[in-house]
Amino acid sequence: MYTPFPVHEIEGSAHDCGEAHGRLAADRVQRTLDIYLPSFERQAGLSLADTRERARTFARSIREIDLDILHELEGIAAGSKQAFEDIVAVNCRTELLYGSAMGLKPATECTTIAVLPEATRDGGVIVGKNWDWRNGCVDSIVVLKIRQQRKPALTLIVEAGMVGRDGFNEDGIAICGNLLVSNEDRGHVGVPIPILRRQVLNAHHYYDAIDRLVRAPRGASGNYLIAHRDGVAIDFELSPKQAFPVYPERGLLTHSNHFQSVVAQSTGVAKFYTGDSLYRDFRARQLLEPKIGSITVEDVKDALRDHFGHPRSICRHPHDYPGSEPTMTVSSQVFDLKENRVHIAAGQPCQSEYRSVGLPGSD
């Protein structure tokens, strides 16, 4: 069993929130840097000087699209006493690791589920995800409850030092993501994935969340499931140049690490995935489809504990991929948007209990 992730409640200006994040989670920010800075050289051939130069380029892109997020990154660097460029670099980790020809490797992580009111027992919206990533990242994750100025209050599950990953806000918007790799990933400079996800959660309205995502210049492919507690969920498979929406069927949507869109498949962008991606999303649907109309949070948790295909299962156990870092489920999270809660298990959910966390100001 893994130790529950630290929960930090922060508030104030963008810089204040970042400074508190960096200060309160300084040890885990250091862990994040220890994981990624060497990986950038091993996987993408980037020296520390190269990484920092790329980070400065990305910082200019972030400045143009969201100055508040840039100030928050500056605050994280100040609070954790780390170099600003290094903090920016880990927020660009997907773009640096997968966004170039040298980094084009199959996507190996994450299974995501959305259940809409017509499929749930209580008429609510449930979003679940197993976050599968590098084994050591289980020791770098934190939960942030952020009350920010002029934007929605929100709760995030992130690798310390990052401004966005999976989360939900007080206006009923939730986002979960999956790694996608396409043949359009060629080192473009754009808005990094954590910044895109944070921009979604900074939106008050669902339409604005979508606009921010699909209109932004992107540096790497990615999958984004955006749900709203009023009963809508759409999955967006994005390459740097294109956007492919995927919709629920019978109130249920499941996704892993390959492009499901027939249009995406026909254009040839969808080549980089491992075999387990093809059964993990199918398996999640197979487990939940017979329960449509009565699905509960506990049913979604049970699906996320499934071991078909072990160790490359929905509940992923430590596993080496040739040429890639060892991976496992580092976090499992189930968002209950009707109740404004997220249930979080550290590591594999078959081994850890889910812990319930609310929005800022709640227990």
Topology adopted by domain 111-358: Penicillin V Acylase; Chain A (3.60.60)
β 7-12/141-148 pair status? parallel
pLDDT at residue 311 in the model: 95
Residues of the chain with CATH 1.10.10: 7-98
Q: What angle do CA 324, 243, 53 make, to 5 degrees?
A: 50
Q: Which amino acid appears at position 104 of this protein?
A: L
For 261-271, how does the pLDDT look when each residue is reduced to its tens digit (9 = 90+)?
988 887 767 66
For 283-298, how does the pLDDT look when each residue is reduced to its tens digit (9 = 90+)?
999 999 999 999 999 9
Q: Could you tell me if 149 and 359 are in contact, meaning their C-beta atoms sit under 8 angstroms apart?
A: no
Topology adopted by domain 7-98: Arc Repressor Mutant, subunit A (1.10.10)
SS3 315: coil
Nearest-angstrom CA–CA distance, 100 and 152 = 34
β 341-346/141-148 pair status? unpaired
Confidence of residue 219 (pLDDT cuts 50, 70, 90): confident
Nearest-angstrom CA–CA distance, 228 and 208 = 12
pLDDT at residue 102 in the model: 46
- Across 197-207, average pLDDT: 98
SS3 167: strand
Nearest-angstrom CA–CA distance, 27 and 17 = 17
Q: What angle do CA 252, 255, 261 make, to 5 degrees?
A: 95
For 227-269, how does the pLDDT look when each residue is reduced to its tens digit (9 = 90+)?
999 999 999 999 988 999 999 999 999 999 999 998 888 776 7
> What is the CB-side half-sphere exposure of residue 308 using CA atoms within 13 A?
15
Nearest-angstrom CA–CA distance, 174 and 168 = 4
Residue 360 has pLDDT above 50, yes or no: yes
For 64-98, how does the pLDDT look when each residue is reduced to its tens digit (9 = 90+)?
999 999 999 999 999 999 999 999 999 999 888 87
For 138-152, how does the pLDDT look when each residue is reduced to its tens digit (9 = 90+)?
999 999 999 999 999
- Mean confidence (pLDDT) of the chain: 93
User: At which residue do the structure tokens 């999956």 appear?
Assistant: 178
| Token representation of residue 88 | 């920016």
Per DSSP, 144 falls in state E
For 178-193, how does the pLDDT look when each residue is reduced to its tens digit (9 = 90+)?
999 888 877 677 789 9
Residues of the chain with CATH 3.60.60.10: 111-358
pLDDT at residue 76 in the model: 98
Percent of the chain with pLDDT over 70: 95
Quick one: how far is CA 235 from the chain centroid?
Answer: 13
Nearest-angstrom CA–CA distance, 282 and 297 = 19
Long-range interactions of 207-216: CB distance < 8 A, separation 24+:
209/173, 209/175, 210/234, 210/236, 213/238, 214/238, 214/243, 216/65, 216/190, 216/191
CB within 8 Å of 109: residues ≥ 6 apart: 131, 132, 133, 178, 179, 257, 316, 327
For 114-135, how does the pLDDT look when each residue is reduced to its tens digit (9 = 90+)?
999 999 999 999 999 999 999 9
| Token representation of residue 348 | 């594999």
Q: What angle do CA 186, 159, 248 make, to 5 degrees?
A: 70
pTM above 0.85, yes or no: yes
